[in-house]
Structure 1
Amino acid sequence: MAKREIDILVISDVHLGTYGCHAKELLNYLKSIRPKKVILNGDIIDIWQFSKSYWPESHMKVVRRLLKFVTDGVPVYYLTGNHDEMLRKFTDLKLGKFQLLNKLLLNVDGKKAWIFHGDVFDVTMQHSKWLAKLGAIGYDTLIILNSMVNWCLTALGRSKMSFSQRIKGRVKEAVKFINHFEQTAADLAVDKKYDYVICGHIHHAEIRHIQAQHKTSSVLYLNSGDWVESLTALEYVNGNWRIYQYNPTEFTTIADEDHTDDEDLEAKLDVNHLLEQFKQKVQ
């Protein structure tokens, strides 16, 4: 299968290291594309819930694939989020084509894009971090329960369901939070005279023009969604932004790629050694 050419790839909220992460699906997707630039917009590794007892090989393969982009000469920007905020102490780290940043200003065909995770707008994160962490644990538990229910539904030939998406869709406060988040991001982007504002954090993929409050200007707001439930990414191809939605039927005939790429990467970079160092840092 020929790989799709993508000018810019933006993914966020992968939450590697948690049971809810769809690492296998993400790996399928990453193997199917050839991006010219990769932006990891926060919460890629979930340090809040990181545990040595749960780090499947599928999660390690995602890390290898992302590192392979670096060794292939593809610029990779890792923008920190709240679940991987520990990495913020290493902000502005640059290793070859890899950069660790809190935010990124990018020129996209002559237009200015302001890219950051978005947790700065979350009042809970700013004032009640312990509550946010407790909520993250509850969310992960809900995802595990949801997976069990979906397994049963699939066995019975019925459609899957998403507990958290239904809750978000029905609870007015959750909807209000998403709308406020998007409006705040848009207002600031207009003030700074940016053309795009690109976020993650709220696990809600979106592309739409938002009118600034008290001004006549608007900005194109984009959100990359997540790889826990929606399994989405942002792709910039031939001058246009679009939301990619993972579809398992697209990958049913793809044979598992041989291990040449992983072996080549291992020869260039001892990723297992790096992982052990990382585990020691977060303990």
Structure 2
Amino acid sequence: MLREILTIARRGVTVTYIPGNHDEMFREWLGLGFEVAGVRMARDAVHEGADGRSYLVIHGDEFDGVIRYAKVLAHLGDWAYDWALALNRVLNLGRRRLGYPYWSLSQWLKRQVKGAVKAIDRFKLALAGEARRRGLDGVICGHIHHAEMRMVQGVMYMNDGDWVESCTALVEHADGRFELVDWAAENRLSFWRRLGSPVVAVA
């Protein structure tokens, strides 16, 4: 994946790398005009969609109270998250052998904790508020690993999730329409197709 991104950057496509809390050491290079293989680094960016609407593109950890004000809790959370991912890999290896589709343990754990659900809601409100403050139509972010597209107080909130936990990505179509691609769901469809069962698509 990284090689493909570098290839399109060398072909002249504008690629912007926005560091997050897991690679925050690169933030020390921001403001230096640092560029590698055609990839520029920035704290955030504004993306103008094909339909003319503008979106704040930001990792989002700056708006997470735990990351900003409780570093010890943040490190404990990272440690617990890494363990959940490791356990998730083992669990899904067994599920795959039994013919079951991908399932995210860490996402399930988050949904069981009321505090986590409230934190996600606060995060959405904070990011939507920042986009509105800058006079933009929406925000594209990540950080909380919870893929979602919805209007939040008149601003389009789009979280692309991630490739590790939710196996999702955000894509923009030529007409400016955005879509969340769910690799796990796609994989589930291909699994049933291999079994010869009919596939029903619901729009």
The TM tier, using the shorter chain, reads 0.7 to 0.9
Q: Tell me how many residue pairs correspond in the alignment.
A: 185
Give the structure 1 partner of residue 195 of structure 2: none
Which residues of structure 1 form unaligned runs of 5+?
A: 1-61, 212-217, 253-283
The 3 A distance-change label for structure 1 pair 90 and 170 is same
Task: Point out the more displaced range, 89-98 or 112-121.
Answer: 89-98
Equivalent-residue separation in structure 2 for 1:106 and 1:79 (angstroms) = 13
Q: Any conservation in 2 of the 1:93–1:101 contact (CA below 8 Å)?
A: no
What TM-score does the superposition give when structure 1 sets the normalisation length? 0.61
Give the structure 2 partner of residue 98 of structure 1: 39
Deviation readout 1:194-250 (Å, 9 max, x if unpaired): 101111000011111111xxxxxx111111101112111111112201111112378
SS of aligned partner of 2:9: helix
Give the structure 1 partner of residue 3 of structure 2: 64
- Which of the residues 173, 176, 182 maps onto 1:239? 176
Equivalent-residue separation in structure 1 for 2:83 and 2:35 (angstroms) = 36
- Which of the residues 119, 131, 154 maps onto 1:177? 119
Give the structure 1 partner of residue 144 of structure 2: 202
Higher helix share: 2
The 3 A distance-change label for structure 1 pair 157 and 126 is same
The 3 A distance-change label for structure 1 pair 156 and 95 is closer
SS of aligned partner of 2:68: helix
What TM-score does the superposition give when structure 2 sets the normalisation length? 0.83
Equivalent-residue separation in structure 2 for 1:137 and 1:107 (angstroms) = 37
Q: 1:95, CA displacement in angstroms? A: 4.5
RMSD after superposition: 2.0
Q: Please say if 1:112 is aligned against 2:48.
A: no
Give the structure 1 partner of residue 158 of structure 2: 222
Q: Any conservation in 1 of the 2:44–2:57 contact (CA below 8 Å)?
A: yes
List 4+ stretches of structure 1 deviating above 6 A: 249-252
Give the structure 1 partner of residue 18 of structure 2: 79
Counterpart of 2:176, as a letter, is G
Which residues of structure 2 form unaligned runs of 5+?
A: 192-203
Task: Point out the more displaced range, 196-205 or 240-249.
Answer: 240-249
Over the matched positions of the two proteins, sequence identity in percent amounts to 38
Counterpart of 1:115, as a letter, is V
The 3 A distance-change label for structure 1 pair 143 and 95 is closer
